[in-house]
């Protein structure tokens, strides 16, 4: 598969600066691995401050002309990029599975999702409006202009190697901003393939730049630059806090999409089939490696046993294997991203078991070896456990019983994170009360896969700042300018 991809022209393994494919200036490289078998797929440049500074200069220069194009012109090029991604979804999907491990079907799903932001924001590009305000002094006229923020630093994680980039870059480019992207070093190939297609789509050199390598050095160069006016990040809460603090030096605008700790709350009056299906899909998609994965499954006492049985049975039917394997099961689970991810899962499980939780299913590394892990269900979890307090980011489903709606709200909101939550109930009043009471940026009711390009994605509390997708997703990349015309 790697060989076929190499001949496709989409297998890029250099950085992109000012439209040129470039190695690290000192020639150093890092290896990219296939998590399913450990094979080295590519060597990519280990870049650092100097390359980043050059990428920033390119983006800064390109901003002058890109921001002056008509919105319709930018829109057409974004749409072309969308079409190219869609045309090449099989190849880029294979690239995602190769470097990230998720099942091919999920990879192609990610291309559809990732490309949808380019389509949506190609349309929104044409709908940036200003305002005219009634003056308080008769001979004045007051206007509000919306202008692109400028050069944007884009730092993204490995769990959605394409979508986390397009969700930021599409609105940025639509508004007239230019970008320096630093993808995760674990999954740079998808980013590079997407960047290649941006050039083919007629997005001018320097508008999209990609650097990778020494993440802290690249991050520091982006933060220190006065030419970069904004940083947008998806990743761990710890790194997000560092970037937010680092942005203070130049008072950059900051958008953050950080960790979640999603509660899924199943009430006695829920449809058990709907709840099981919803929690399974949310928990085991991408092997549990998403910021909106069900992390705490709160189940009301009257339905606890019934739900546990049905849920464990469904989890048992999950098939585990190489993402390129032909899954016969409805749900299919690939490897975790790396050894550290497996060790984190093991640590959380040990902690919970020591404190009295019971493993109902799985609980250990899969017999396939590498970083494959058994789909795991663990019951009688409580709020003292790491599984409750933090994101496990793996295929572990912790179940906790509760008695009343009030108790469920208390448990659900007992978290520093506030990204996504999900409620399963057939009581319409309760669903509305819960949606209002949950301290989360997104709430699903009887549906767990709620992300779409047309709705605002993002969190409150320590899950982040700003929203991605939807008409609101443009605001993060636009500055307001007040113009007063006086003495008329
Ligand atoms: P994850 O757990 O998803 O790997 P990280 O926050 O570690 O989350 O990584 C998300 C992105 O942040 C990656 O592109 C990573 O290389 C980058 N990153 C990690 N540390 C830093 C840093 N100190 N400065 C800038 N970027 C960083």
> Per-residue confidence of the chain (488 residues) as pLDDT tens digits?
778 888 888 999 999 999 999 999 999 999 999 999 999 999 999 999 999 999 999 999 999 999 999 999 999 999 999 999 999 999 999 999 999 999 999 999 999 999 999 999 999 999 999 999 999 999 999 999 999 999 999 999 999 999 999 999 999 999 999 999 999 999 999 999 999 999 999 999 999 999 999 999 999 999 999 999 999 999 999 999 999 999 999 999 999 999 999 999 999 999 999 999 999 999 999 999 999 999 999 999 999 999 999 999 999 999 999 999 876 455 689 999 999 999 999 999 999 999 999 999 999 999 999 999 999 999 999 999 999 999 999 999 999 999 999 999 999 999 999 999 999 999 999 999 999 999 999 999 999 999 999 999 999 999 999 999 999 999 999 999 999 999 99
Please report, to the nearest 10 degrees, the dihedral formed by the alpha carbons of residues 105, 314, 406, 428 taken in order.
Answer: 70
**Which atom of ligand 1 lies at the shortest distance from residue 242's CA?**
23
pLDDT digits (tens, 9 = 90+) for 354-410: 999 999 999 999 999 999 999 999 999 999 999 999 999 999 999 999 999 999 999
**Which atom of ligand 1 lies at the shortest distance from residue 393's CA?**
2
Nearest CA to ligand 1 atom 19: 215
Q: Which residues contact 64 (CB under 8 A, 6 or more apart)?
A: none
Q: How far is the CA of 279 from the centre of ligand 1 (A)?
A: 28
Parallel, antiparallel or unpaired: strands 15-17 and 20-22? antiparallel
**Which atom of ligand 1 lies at the shortest distance from residue 218's CA?**
25
Parallel, antiparallel or unpaired: strands 420-424 and 262-266? parallel
Q: How far is the CA of 180 from the centre of ligand 1 (A)?
A: 15
Q: ipTM score here? A: 0.98
Task: Tell me which residues have their CB closer than 6 angstroms to ligand 1.
Answer: 155-158, 182, 184-185, 215-216, 219, 235-236, 239, 242
- Please spell the DSSP secondary structure of 264-299, one letter per residue: EEE-TTS-HHHHHHHHHHHHHGGGG-STTSEEEEEE
CA distance 441 to 119: 24
E strand or H helix at 417, and its extent? strand 417-418
Question: Nearest Cα to 182, choosing from 38, 40, 20, 17?
Answer: 17
Question: Nearest Cα to 56, choosing from 10, 7, 18?
Answer: 18
pTM flag (> 0.95) = yes
Which of 215, 256, 390 should be mutated for ligand 1, with most atoms under 8 A from CB?
A: 215
Q: How far is the CA of 476 from the centre of ligand 1 (A)?
A: 21
Residue pair 259/241 in contact by the 8 Å Cβ criterion: no
Catalytic machinery residues: 257
Q: How far is the CA of 228 from the centre of ligand 1 (A)?
A: 18
Which of 32, 180, 189, 235 should be mutated for ligand 1, with most atoms under 8 A from CB?
A: 235
Inter-CA distances, 59 with 54, 65, 219, 336, Å? 9, 10, 16, 35
Q: How far is the CA of 424 from the centre of ligand 1 (A)?
A: 34
């Amino acid at each position: 598969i790697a060989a076929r991809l190499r001949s496709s022209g989409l297998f890029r393994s250099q950085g992109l600066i000012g439209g040129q494919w470039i190695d690290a200036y000192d020639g150093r490289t890092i290896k990219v691995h296939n998590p399913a078998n450990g094979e080295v797929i590519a060597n990519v440049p280990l870049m650092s401050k100097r390359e980043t500074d050059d990428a920033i200069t390119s983006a800064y220069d390109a901003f002058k002309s890109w921001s002056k194009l008509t919105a319709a012109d930018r829109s057409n090029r974004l749409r072309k990029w969308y079409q190219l991604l869609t045309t090449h979804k099989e190849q880029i999907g294979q690239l995602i599975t190769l470097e990230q491990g998720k099942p091919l079907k999920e990879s192609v799903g990610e291309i559809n999702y990732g490309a949808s932001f380019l389509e949506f924001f190609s349309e929104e590009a044409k709908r940036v409006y200003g305002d005219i305000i009634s003056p308080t002094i008769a001979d004045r006229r007051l206007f509000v202009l919306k202008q692109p923020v400028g050069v944007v630093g884009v730092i993204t994680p490995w769990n959605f190697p394409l979508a986390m980039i397009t969700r930021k870059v599409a609105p940025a480019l639509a508004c007239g901003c230019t970008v320096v992207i630093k993808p995760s070093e674990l999954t740079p190939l998808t980013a590079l393939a997407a960047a290649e297609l941006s050039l083919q789509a007629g997005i001018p050199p320097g508008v999209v730049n990609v650097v990778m390598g020494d993440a802290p050095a690249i991050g520091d160069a982006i933060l220190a630059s006065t030419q970069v006016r904004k940083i947008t990040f998806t990743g761990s809460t710890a790194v997000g806090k560092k970037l937010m603090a680092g942005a203070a030096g130049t008072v950059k605008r900051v958008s953050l999409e950080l960790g979640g700790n999603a509660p899924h709350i199943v009430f006695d009056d829920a449809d058990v089939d709907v709840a099981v299906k919803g929690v399974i899909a949310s928990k085991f998609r991408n092997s549990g490696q998403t910021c909106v994965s069900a992390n705490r499954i709160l189940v009301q006492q009257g339905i606890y046993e019934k739900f546990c049985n049905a849920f464990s049975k469904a989890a048992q039917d999950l098939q585990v294997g190489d993402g390129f394997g032909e899954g016969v099961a409805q749900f299919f689970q690939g490897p975790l991203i790396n050894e550290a991810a497996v060790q984190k899962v093991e640590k959380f499980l040990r902690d919970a078991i020591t404190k009295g939780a019971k493993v109902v299913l799985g609980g250990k590394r899969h017999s396939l070896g590498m970083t494959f892990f058994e789909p795991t269900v663990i019951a009688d979890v409580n709020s003292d456990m790491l599984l409750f307090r933090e994101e496990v980011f793996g295929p572990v489903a912790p179940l906790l019983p509760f008695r009343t709606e009030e108790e469920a709200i208390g448990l659900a909101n007992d978290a520093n994170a506030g990204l996504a939550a999900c409620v399963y109930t057939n009581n319409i009043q309760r669903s509305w009360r819960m949606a209002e009471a949950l301290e989360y940026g997104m709430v699903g009711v009887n549906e767990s896969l709620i992300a779409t390009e047309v709705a605002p994605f993002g969190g409150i509390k320590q899950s982040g700042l700003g929203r991605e997708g939807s008409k609101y997703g443009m605001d993060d990349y636009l500055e307001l300018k007040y113009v007063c015309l006086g003495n008329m």
